[in-house]
Structure 1
Amino acid sequence: MTFKPARLLLALIAIAASFATSSSFAQNLAVVNGKAIPSSRADQMVKQVVAQGQATDSPQLREAIKKDLIAREVMMQEAVKQGYDKNPEVKQALENARQTIVINALAKDYVTKHPVSDAEIKAEYDRFTKQTGDKEYHVRHILVENEADANAIIAKIKGGAKFEDLAKQSKDTGTANNGGDLDWASPSSFPPEFAAGFTGLQKGQVTEKPVKTQVGYHIIKLDDVRAAKLPALDEVKPQIADALTQQKLASYQEEMVKKAKVQ
């Protein structure tokens, strides 16, 4: 991987903010105005940079990190000398950063001790496929304000007017100029009442009555039906695992909030 100092410097600044100064270390990387910079801090940053794919561990990387840590220490000493560490906004930002670091450590430990199992992933995948169904529908719609207008449009369609032409008066500006086309989708992608309006139609058929949803009245046309193209479990396993992990963390947080005494 090509070594890019400018990009690396930004990465180092972000990573350095996540580390606290070690109180004990085998040796110092450098001593700046009497203040030691432990080598362990540089080692941690090297691991982070390499893990993020920013660069490979090399003498050049370590030298860049050393220069950055020295520069940061110089700037930190000057900032403290000028009293910025006592600035209320700075102190609040430091507290926020400290809180984030500690919470992230707790979350990481919780996830390690409560990993998502393959069985949970399979169950979520099965739930998704069942909800999605085995069919996809290509539908069009015309959205209007009231039932009377919807019935008038249905009457015009029965009289021979083209659905696509009438769609130009739809309140759905995103599809009005495209014949009301909603493209291919599964019924679960729509509100239940809307989905119920087209799943019983035959190809080319238009709803006999307006379908009401919270946004208005719809006239729906079914263009076609096909077998759903669902991804295999292995294709979406990482995404499902991540989603379930986030759910577990959210539930854990909710439990802690419920137990807390909040006044």
Structure 2
Amino acid sequence: MKRHLNHITFTRLTATLALAVGLSAIAAPSMAANKPSSSHAKAAAPVAASGPLPANAVARVNNVFITQEQVDAMLKATNTPDTPQTRTAIKNQLIARELFRQAAEKQHYDTRAQVIEAVEQARSLAMTQAYLRDQVRPTPVTDADVKARYDAIVATLGDKEYKPSVIAVKDEATAKDVLAQLKKGTDFAQLAKQYSQGPAAAQGGAMNWVSFKTPIQPGATQGWPQPVAEAMVKLPQGGLTTAPVQVGDAFWIVKMDQERVTQVPDFDTTRAALRQQLEQVALQKATAQVVVDLMKNASIQQQ
């Protein structure tokens, strides 16, 4: 068995042990109680090792309660149906994990270097996330912002929209070889999967619909390289570029799968997606500003 268990392996192990737990009385009063460390989670606080379970507890493992809140939290996290069978399975998994924890603590695994490092990393991450939640304050996105973004996008659309497939390779010789194979009738998608280092290669190079105002203007190509956009709008439906289109160190081959009159999406159908995009941009800007402010008072040395 590998020394370090990944999350999937750990989950399988706990599920296996949970089954065993479900078939045995693990919380018998005759069991000796092991006192948990003070660092143990609040949800499993030390209590008396005998007596009836309180209303919020579903099990006791030696002297540690498994609470209903823990079961509810795992049920929500796993997004599984809320059934008695599911709750029993989750309870047994929590019992198994608590058994693991107690056994590891008893053998002083909490003092091992790798455990201490993992705890410190988790603490650092939680602290950083809490700090960012308090300090990063994105500018709120208004309805007017969303509508302005929609209008700006619509203004960039041309009369036609295009659905191309592309193959992008790193050298001209390969591009010419691919073109030669295409002219002999080799399937475009097959060659894209075999040769392309460009977008959507795994999908045979097939791209989404895109529209440009013509003639093509710099910066108005919806993120496409301008030479490719210029070649694209000149192709008839079903057409193929006769020579590779060079973009920097790459060479592109474009096939025009379909073209049609531009279908302008309704504002109401795009509102939510546009708001999400703008909120993400606002979050990135606010985060960058926090970094800039911190750097002003920091001493940073780099190579």
C-alpha contact 2:240 2:256 (8 A) present in aligned 1: yes
Are 1:193 and 2:201 matched, yes or no? no
C-alpha contact 1:142 1:176 (8 A) present in aligned 2: no
Aligned to 1:78: 103
C-alpha contact 1:141 1:181 (8 A) present in aligned 2: yes
Aligned to 1:157: none
Aligned to 2:114: 89
How many residue pairs end up in the alignment? 230
Within a 5 Å distance, the mapping from 1:1-263 to structure 2 comes to: 20-22=41-43, 29=57, 30-34=59-63, 36-37=64-65, 39=67, 42-43=68-69, 45-47=71-73, 49-50=75-76, 53-56=79-82, 59-105=84-130, 116-131=141-156, 133-137=158-162, 145=172, 165=183, 173-174=191-192, 185-186=209-210, 187=212, 188=222, 190-199=224-233, 211-215=245-249, 225-260=259-294, 261-263=298-300
Residues 65-123 of structure 1 deviation map (CA, whole Å, 9 limit, x = unaligned)? 44333332221111111122122222222233333444455566779986544333333
Q: Which has the larger displacement, 111-120 or 231-240?
A: 111-120
Change (3 A) 1:185 1:196: same
C-alpha contact 1:201 1:207 (8 A) present in aligned 2: yes
Change (3 A) 1:135 1:93: farther
Q: Structure 1 unaligned runs (5+)? A: 1-5, 14-18, 154-161
Partner Cα distance (2:146, 2:243) in 1: 41
Change (3 A) 1:220 1:80: closer
Partner Cα distance (1:254, 1:108) in 2: 14
Aligned to 1:156: none
* TM superposition shift of 1:46: 0.7
TM-score normalised by structure 2 residue count: 0.52
Q: Which has the larger displacement, 96-105 or 81-90?
A: 96-105
Partner Cα distance (2:88, 2:255) in 1: 66
* TM superposition shift of 1:138: 5.3
Instruction: Describe the SS at the equivalent of 2:110.
Output: helix
Partner Cα distance (2:231, 2:261) in 1: 19
Change (3 A) 1:60 1:222: closer
C-alpha contact 1:167 1:176 (8 A) present in aligned 2: no
Change (3 A) 1:175 1:214: farther
Partner Cα distance (1:50, 1:123) in 2: 38
Change (3 A) 1:63 1:105: farther
* TM superposition shift of 1:52: 5.5
Q: Structure 2 unaligned runs (5+)? A: 1-10, 19-39, 48-53, 196-203, 213-221
Aligned to 2:4: none
Q: Which has a greater percent of helix? A: 1
Percent of aligned pairs sharing the same letter: 29
Change (3 A) 1:98 1:142: closer
Change (3 A) 1:134 1:28: same
CA RMSD, Structure 1 to Structure 2 (Å): 5.1
Residues 15-55 of structure 1 deviation map (CA, whole Å, 9 limit, x = unaligned)? xxxx9525989976254333x3363xx32541552476312
C-alpha contact 1:28 1:37 (8 A) present in aligned 2: no
* TM superposition shift of 1:184: 6.8
C-alpha contact 2:43 2:70 (8 A) present in aligned 1: no
